[in-house]
Structure 1
Amino acid sequence: MFKRINKDAAKEMLVADSNAILIDIRDSQSFEEGHDEKALHLTQENLSDFIVNTEKQVPVLVMCYHGNSSQSVAQYLTAQGFDTVYSIDGGYEVWKD
């Protein structure tokens, strides 16, 4: 089961745990227009590689536009065996402020 996390707690986790991965699932144009420098752009094209090549014990934080779509992806990653998955409430709209 994934957990929901607010922007501040997510940013603190990324600082405290250098292994934590921030993934951004927004479309390519939105990602190119602005994203966190630490974010990995997760798309349909690289999803399988991410699942196969990423340690399942590493914390994964999922960001979308507003915090809705990220919940579905977080649930999916949990089902794929990831131990610690978070959906960031408010998504990039809150993150960028």
Structure 2
Amino acid sequence: MTTATFQHLDIPTLGAWLEDDRVLTLVDIRDPASFAAGHIPGSRHLDNASVPALLAEAPRDTPLVVVCYHGHSSQQAAAWLAGQGFGEVYSLDGGFTGWQVRHPERVEA
């Protein structure tokens, strides 16, 4: 039996994917207030209440990128989501904090 795994994704690569309009699912696992205050455009908030909808709606063959504050808790969430059948799962290294520092103009409230 193989264990489902995720990959690390750096901020420049995610930026390039978004600029190229690459089809992907982008989820943000930070708390609701932090997400509301600012998030990467196109991301959806993911918490325990919204996981069932994600599992029902998101295509398993589309890359899935998980964002947290600094890139630590997203690793556990990415590993769990990979175990749910998503084939290409990434944890954003540096998280939203790193994204906001590098791309302040690409933050949506």
TM range (shorter): over 0.9
SS at match of 1:9: helix
Aligned partners of 2:8 and 2:90 also within 8 Å: yes
Query: Amino acid of the residue matched to residue 82 of structure 1?
Result: F
Equivalences for residues 1-97 of structure 1 within 5 A: 1-97=5-101
SS at match of 1:87: strand
- Alignment CA distance shift 1:17-1:82 (3 Å): farther
Relative to the length of structure 1, the TM-score reads 0.93
Structure 2: state its 5+ residue gaps.
Answer: 102-109
- The percentage of aligned residue pairs carrying the same residue is 36
Aligned partners of 1:59 and 1:85 also within 8 Å: yes
SS at match of 2:17: helix
C-alpha displacement at 1:17, in angstroms? 4.9
SS at match of 1:57: coil
- Alignment CA distance shift 1:52-1:21 (3 Å): same
Relative to the length of structure 2, the TM-score reads 0.83
Q: Deviations over 1:14-46 (max 9, x none)?
A: 333532111110000111111112111111111
- Residues 78-87 or 13-22, more deviating: 13-22
SS at match of 1:10: helix
Cα RMSD (Å) of the superposition?
1.1
Structure 1: state its 5+ residue gaps.
Answer: none
Aligned partners of 1:14 and 1:21 also within 8 Å: no
Query: Amino acid of the residue matched to residue 78 of structure 1?
Result: A
